[in-house]
A and B are shown apart, each in its own frame.
Chain A
Amino acid sequence: GDSVTQMEGPVTLSEEAFLTINCTYTATGYPSLFWYVQYPGEGLQLLLKATKADDKGSNKGFEATYRKETTSFHLEKGSVQVSDSAVYFCALRKKNSNYQLIWGAGTKLIIKP
């Protein structure tokens, strides 16, 4: 079945370090791909998305490129801040998917000053 696999956390980095959180997926067809972020004590909010192969989603300095050949959607940021500390979720939704999102397990990111 369809699935999303994320790198296990927590990921701990120093401020201004480069961030990569890996996400790979298994799905038939061409799903839409999403990154959601959950700050402590809050609900999830959309960070960025890409709807077709080679699309790049970007927001708040984060970016991810939809790579069909490697079935990946890795999240990157050039210089992280303490305020980026959160849990990051990768998800996919297939077209005609009956509304369901398929979620990764989440990756906790800790940024130290």
Chain B
Amino acid sequence: NAGVTQTPKFQVLKTGQSMTLQCAQDMNHEYMSWYRQDPGMGLRLIHYSVGAGITDQGEVPNGYNVSRSTTEDFPLRLLSAAPSQTSVYFCASSASGGSTDTQYFGPGTRLTVL
């Protein structure tokens, strides 16, 4: 049981490049989400999904796309990278969207945009 996995661990992009951050979970969780973590700001929700085929925007969705074709995978796409997207990105999953539910996090992807 690997939990939540993310690839790559580190990535450097040039402004304007696109890329996909991968996220997968093997716990059969319905709910998955993407956060970015910036110094002094805690975590901010980018996009989330309540099940395969269903996605919605979080607090800071601009510049990012997501899709959920399977329960296991939830990739995050940067369409045209900007320096403001330099951050650490975390994927998380949980069994349901209940208010008491525990979220399980991946190890993160550290992205630098030059």
B99 in contact with A89 (CB, 8 Å): no
B40 adjacent to chain A (CB < 8 Å):
yes
Interface residue tally for chain B (C-beta within 8 Å): 26
Band of interface residues on A: 20 to 34
Q: Measured between alpha carbons, how far is A93 from B48 in the docked complex, in Å?
A: 15
Interface residues of B, Cβ cutoff 8 Å to A: 4, 31, 33, 40-45, 48, 50, 56, 58-59, 90, 92, 97, 99-100, 102-108
A43 in contact with B59 (CB, 8 Å): no
Instruction: Name 7 A/B residue pairs within 8 A (Cβ), A-sorted.
Output: A89-B42, A94-B99, A95-B99, A99-B97, A104-B42, A105-B42, A106-B42
Residues of chain A lying within 8 A (CB to CB) of residue B108: 42-43
Question: Of A32, A98, A99, which is within 8 A of B100 by CB?
Answer: A32
A14 adjacent to chain B (CB < 8 Å):
no
- Give the one of B48, B50, B58, B97 with max A CB within 10 A: B97
